[in-house]
Structures are given as C-alpha cells and as structure tokens.
Chain A
Amino acid sequence: MEKPKIDFAVGLNAYETVKEIVGKCVEAERLGLDYLWIGDSPPHLYCPSVAAAVASRTKKIRIGLGLLSPILHTSDQISGSIISLTEAYGDRFEICLGVGDRSQLSRVGVDTKPGKVWDQVLKAKRKIVRSLRASGLATKIWLGAQGPKMLAASKSFDGVLMNYASPRMVKWAIDRVKPVARKDFEFGIYAPSYVYKRWRPEAYRLLRIASAVVALGAPTVVLNEFGFSKGLRRAIEEHEGRLRIESVVKHVPSEVVDSFSIYTPSSGLHSYLRELSGLGISHIVFGFPQNLSKITVRDLASALPSP
C-alpha cells in the first residue's frame, strides 16, 4: 500500500519506570515510527524530564510533549523546558497544549472552570510562542481539543490533536476548523489504541478503560451531537459518584468505545488510515494501551504502511 501522508506516533503514558519507557521509545525509533508523544498528568512522571531521557537515547525520532496543561505549568516553565531540550538534543520537539484531564487536575487542587481555563490556554500559547521566538525557535504547537469552542480556538495553533477516532467524529471536527484554518494547519488524532496481530484480553480491557476515560471527559455537546449521552448516562452518574473508572467501564456501550479509540486487527488498519487520510488527517498518535509492551509496539509498526 502506498503510504498516506500521515506521521505515525506512539503515545507514552509516563507511569512506568523511565527505563521501561526509554526501552519502548528506542524500539519505536528502530521500527521506523515518526514520533513519540510523552503524556503529562499529575499522577505520572514529569514529562520534560522523561523527554530528556528519551531524547538522550534516540537519534532523530520527533518527540511530542503533552498534553501539557498551562493551568498546571506556567508558560515560562513550558517554554523553558523546550528551549533546554532543543539546545541539548536538537530541534526534535513539539508540544500539545490543552486544559488537561479535569478529574486529575481537581485531585491536585487545580480549578478548571470552563471559559476561564480556555482563555488561560490561549494566553499561555501566545507567551510560549514569544519566548520560543526570542530564543530563535519555531517549535510546532498543537492544541488538544474535542468540543466546538476549543476546536474553533485551534485555528491560532499549528494544528489540532483530536481525542476521538471515528471517521464520523473526525469529519465533524475538521468541517468546523478547516474553513477558518491556515493552509499549513495540521489535523491529527490522539486516541486510545489497540492494533493487534494476536488479540490479548488484558490489552482490550485497558483499551475499554482508556476509551471510557476519554468519553466520560468529553464535552456534553460532543456526546449529544453523536447520540452518546443516553447510552453513557449510567456510566456518567456512577463516575460522578466517585466510583473507580474500572467499575464504571461496564456501563460504557461498545459503540462509544469504538468511536473514541482505534481498535482493529493489523489487517484492518490500512482501510482506516486511507479513510482518515482522505479526510485530511496527517498525524496519528496511537495512545495507550498500544504502548503496553514492546510486542504491542511491534504489532503496530508491522501494521503500518512501509515508508
């Protein structure tokens, strides 16, 4: 198959040891993936430091940091990290900004009232660009977005990473942004993923949990738009009642899991990629649990079109 013009990435959830993460990243580079994305969330390792460890052991693979929340980190801290990483390891870094996981942020006392936080993200982006430019850098800055307001705001970024995977939802988002975006604006998705050669029940269980987390964190307007609200009602109620996500996931309909994740045997990936490429997607981050082990990373790499 001819390679669609898409960059392929593995997303790393930084809660393993640094050594384990670096091992998977070295393998991903060896297998020819284009990007690594290192997540950042309060219960995880510190993303810029993990990025430094990964960059020190890889040669040219591009490294994305994020989603980084300017509600949690100051714009100076974010730009300062990128400036040092770039000076040490070359111009291989990109960032994705966004509000972040509201549930995790509230656990560490960070207030994420809608409206105010969007303004904070947009202001931070402008400050970061100024700092990076002052250091002679033109680092690509993505916005992580799901709902209409953030999608509309993404036009002032270099690209948008959407947190869903179904072509129907992706098309809906692209149709909203494309008419107002610059020509070189990029559309990407960053979704829970499980592309497999040999199906493993544990990986599928984790995929369902990861998808449920994303779906339950999606703006109501998105859930309504795609008719998911009714099916998710019980899961939302129980999740708001502070039940652990593992207990709630059984109430998340499989069509919701499918819409928020990339779940396919290796043989089914090509047609999905063609469809996304046709919609204008140029960047795909295969998120957790695709990074579960070196084997799942290899399964993904072998399913991707040859460079």
Chain B
Amino acid sequence: MQPTEGLPREPGSAIERDRRSSGDQGGLPNRASMLMVGAVSRAGSWLDVASGGRGTPAVPALVDIGIGAAGFAASGAVRVVRMSGRVAAPVGAVLMHPPLLPRTWHPATLVSGLGDRGRHYRQASEREVDAVTAALVPRVIAAVLDRIDLTELVLRRVDLDRVVGSVDVLAAVRRLDLTAIVLEGVQLDSIVAGVDIDAIVERIDIDAIVAGVDLDPIIARVDPDPIADRVNVQAVIDRIDLVGLAKYVVQEIDLPEIIRESTGSVASEAVRGARMQSIEADQAVQRAVDRLLLRRRHRPTEPQGPTEPTADGPGA
C-alpha cells in the first residue's frame, strides 16, 4: 500500500481520471474511500493467487454497482456538507466569535485549543507508528526473505545479462588495487615453486632478443664515471704482475732494439756487426777444428764455477 503523499498527481493518471469521473475535484474523504476500495480489490486478487488462481478473480457486477452507488452517495454527502458549510459560515463565525465576550471565552478559542491538542496527539501517534514500523519492517523483510528463495527469484525475474551489460567493468577494475589483492590473497611462493623456470628459459631465444636490442642508446645513457668510481683499481693492480708484464712487453717489442735504432750511431752498429761476425767466425773455427780433430761432442764453452748473474745474459 502506497502512502497518500506518494499518489500520482498527473492529469492522465488513473486516480485523477476516477476523481473526474466521480465529479470530485479532490478531497481527503474521496481519496480515502478510493484507497479503501482498491485495497479490498487487491486483497481479493492476492487471495486468489494464494488459492492457486491467476490473480484476476471474477468480480460480480453487483459489487461494482454497490461501489458506484456508495461513491455517488459519498460524493453527494460531501457536496451537501460543503454547501452547508458555506451557508452556515457567517453564522458560524458569529457563533465562534460572539460579540461582547472576551476572546478567551470565545468558542473559537476553545476549538483552537482542541485543534492544537489533537495535532499534538496526531504527531505523537505518527512518531510512534514510525518507531513501530522501523522495528517491524526489518523483521518482516527477514521473515519474507526466509520464506522465499531469493536466488531463484532473481534468476527468474532479473535479466542478468542486461544488468551485467550495463556494468562498466573496466571502471570497476580501475578502482581496485589489484597489486594489493594479489599480494594478500595469492600464495606467490607456492606458484613460483611449481614453475619450471629452466624449461621456460630453454624456450627463449636469448640471442634473438639481444640481436633485436639497440644497445647504442642504452650505452649512451650509461654514465661510466660512477661505475669507475666504485671499481677498486688498486686491488686490480695488486693482482697484476706489473713488472713481469712490463718486461714481457719490452722484450716482445724489443725495446732495446728500438732505442738503438733511434739513438744509435753508425759506429755502434758497426761494432755490433763486428762482434756478431767475430762470434760467427769463432763458431766456424771451432766447428772446423773439431771436425779436423774428429771430435763428435759439442765443445763446452761455458766457464766453470758458479754462474754469475748478469744483467744481460746467462752468467759467466
């Protein structure tokens, strides 16, 4: 049952049409009677449904005639009362405010006090009804929900596809903190433990990935200075045999030869050539003499005694 304050007031509504057809332009008594008749009619429909019917019981014509007659009589009574009120209004005004009497003794004052008392009583009653309703409605709803299968009702009565189609899922997802949901609700360790990473890595063509990477801009963005600052160069140097390395380089490039070629004189070159030729001559003479003397063993020409360490060759 809808409250009277919520009744439709549009000119084309059913209540408005009934009001016009009944010759009434409004008024609480007429509306109350309409609500009463409608409630009785709906109660009959509900009883029909409860008894297994379709909710459209056959209403005898006599009932409609009775309702029409009662409505006509009620509207006529209302008109009579209104006309009587308009006629008796001047008399009533004199009666309510008789002359020569103090205002405190006027009947209107008494009636006004009764009105105030009745209004206060009505407001208190409304508050009491609101409190009872607030306490009763949840219980009634709970009892109703206990008696019905809401899920089945929704499935039968609700077009879920249309509802879901009207939902902006992306907007809802954007409002969610998916990272926090995953971190709190997902056992990542157990999931990762079950993953065969080796198999995944074997399927990856790392060479192709690297070949597709343009390293130049990446390297251009790298600042080598901080990296170099973190490198312990002294530790690296300590692990290197610098003396051996320098000696190896000098000997491999024959630095003495370079120095001699750049600074040596013709005389030193001549002396060097003379020395080498004399050594070769010594070897030739030794071989010839040994051949003449039928010596088969190589002539040992190393001096006896401890070998003297020299700066430029084997010891003496």
A and B: partners? no
